[in-house]
Chains A and B, each alone.
Chain A
Amino acid sequence: MDSISLIGAVSVITAGITMAIGSIGPALGEGRAIVSALSSIAQQPDAAPTITRTLFVGLAMIESMAIYCFVVSMILIFSNPFWNFVITKASGG
């Protein structure tokens, strides 16, 4: 396999695997956060606004892990520096 197809294939496969594995952890973590938020709202319903607000802040922090994985896969697919380098070398050289 020459280097162009190797770089292309590895980039695409890595982008897929990054997104697949990287969204498992945040999903599990968010599930646990919502479980504890729901049980504490059930125990103390008048603290619900504070709990909801803290829940959303925590969910956003956890979500940002999945967002980092997404950004990496987008970079690999759409603005991949190795692919650009190899393409310019192939078309120029």
Chain B
Amino acid sequence: MRISPDDVIFFEYGFAKLNLTIATTWALMLIMVVGSISITRKLSINTKITRWQNTLEIIVISLKKQIEEVGLYKAERYLGFLGTLFLFLFLSNLLTILPFYEPPTSSLSTTAALAICVFFAVPVFNIIEHGIVSYLKSYVKPIFIMLPFHIISEFSRTLALAVRLFGNMMSGVMILGILLTITPFVFPIVMTVFGLLVGSVQAYIFTILASVFIAAAAHESEKGIKHS
């Protein structure tokens, strides 16, 4: 039984392999980019807007509101990174409804890559906002002994992000595969619905946790600074 789409290899050259995970990720990227370009080609600011523009506006505005509620006050700067994260994960988990589709997040490589992106995004965003000195000082707040704990927690929550998403998606795919061999008619549909729900919630959780990590480091480092 296959445990991840990493094992379906289309093309191999030295140590670089083109497997199903990468091919699916490229297909998703193509769908998102082509869709966004075709929807935003003729944006209108009067009261008659097309359905697709309405949908995109709903998505962008609610993402912005969520990021602001977490505590990041200038949400436009983070909306690019966090919004892309949420949309990519949501789309990839939503398309499990298609037959013969395996979500790329059901392989540890995709989720680990995204978690590493978040791991680098936290210092980058904080250094851009508050400067490198106050970011480094946030590691020793509230007391100097906390330095190793902060460092360990950085690594462990990155790992937790990756494994949480991977575990949820892989278990959904695997349970569906097992159920299809046991009770082929009605029960797999119920499990597909459950898998969709879990996938959407996990996409949201990933994004919210990423924004909470960025906000937590930011609040630690701006304890003495009053923000307007």
Contacts and interface: CB of A to CB of B under 8 A. Distances in A.
B164 interface: yes
A63 B201 CA distance: 12
A64 B167 contact: yes
Contacts, number: 37
Given A56-B205, A63-B164, A71-B167, 10 more contacts: A56-B201, A57-B208, A60-B164, A60-B201, A61-B205, A64-B163, A68-B163, A68-B167, A71-B170, A78-B3
B192 interface: no
Interface in A37-67: 56-57, 60-61, 63-64, 67
Contacts of A67: 163-164, 167-168, 171
Contacts of A78: 1, 3
Interface of B: 1, 3, 160, 163-164, 166-168, 170-171, 174, 201-202, 204-205, 208-209
- Which bracket fits the contact residues of A? 10 to 19
Main secondary structure of the interface of B (DSSP, over half): helix
A74 B160 CA distance: 17
A60 B209 CA distance: 11
25 contacts: A57-B208, A57-B209, A60-B164, A60-B201, A60-B205, A61-B205, A63-B164, A63-B168, A64-B160, A64-B163, A64-B167, A67-B164, A67-B167, A67-B168, A68-B163, A68-B167, A70-B171, A71-B163, A71-B167, A71-B170, A74-B170, A74-B171, A74-B174, A78-B1, A78-B3
Nearest to B171: A70
B202 A60 contact: yes
Nearest to B66: A53
A91 interface: no
Contacts of A68: 163, 167
Contacts of A63: 164, 168
A74 B208 contact: no
A3 interface: no
